[in-house]
């Protein structure tokens, strides 16, 4: 699981998860972008459930034209392989440019995450 996210990202995702579990209403910026290099799936994650530290939440785009906010388990992502048997990777060059709500708005308009 830790290969998909750095320790710093894990801490930030957990911080956001604790805030959400406490009822905080916010529009967080994504913490990490994960993707399949040989398919069209992308995940922009904003929080990690502090109860299991495996269930993440964010904008999920499975490459079928219907990105949506959803939960995904990091352990499941770690086991996914694309058509050329490549694993899910962290985009180490990506930096968030806007809050999650703006990514959602743009992805819904475009039918995919384009950032």
Beta bridge partners of 87: 81
pLDDT score of 35: 96
**DSSP state at residue 87:** B
Over pLDDT 90: what percentage of the chain?
84
Tokens 């990777």 locate to 89
Question: For the chain, what is the total number of helices (H) and then of strands (E)?
Answer: 3, 5
Question: HSE on the CB side for 42, CA within 13 Å?
Answer: 20
pLDDT of 1 > 60? The answer is no
Mean pLDDT of 25-29: 91
The string of pLDDT tens digits covering residues 58-89 is 999 998 999 999 999 999 999 999 899 999 99
Longest dimension (CA), the chain: 42
The string of pLDDT tens digits covering residues 2-23 is 489 999 999 999 999 999 998 8
């Amino acid at each position: 699981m830790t290969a998909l996210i750095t320790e710093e990202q894990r801490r930030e995702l957990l911080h956001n998860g604790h805030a959400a579990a406490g009822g905080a209403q916010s529009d967080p910026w994504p913490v990490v972008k994960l993707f399949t290099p040989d398919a069209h799936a992308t995940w922009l994650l904003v929080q990690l459930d502090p109860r299991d530290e495996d269930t993440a939440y964010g904008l999920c785009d499975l490459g079928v034209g219907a990105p949506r906010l959803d939960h995904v388990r990091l352990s499941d992502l770690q086991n996914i392989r694309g058509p050329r048997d490549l694993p899910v990777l962290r985009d180490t060059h990506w930096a968030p440019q806007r809050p999650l709500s703006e990514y959602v708005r743009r992805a819904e308009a475009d039918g995919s995450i384009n950032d």
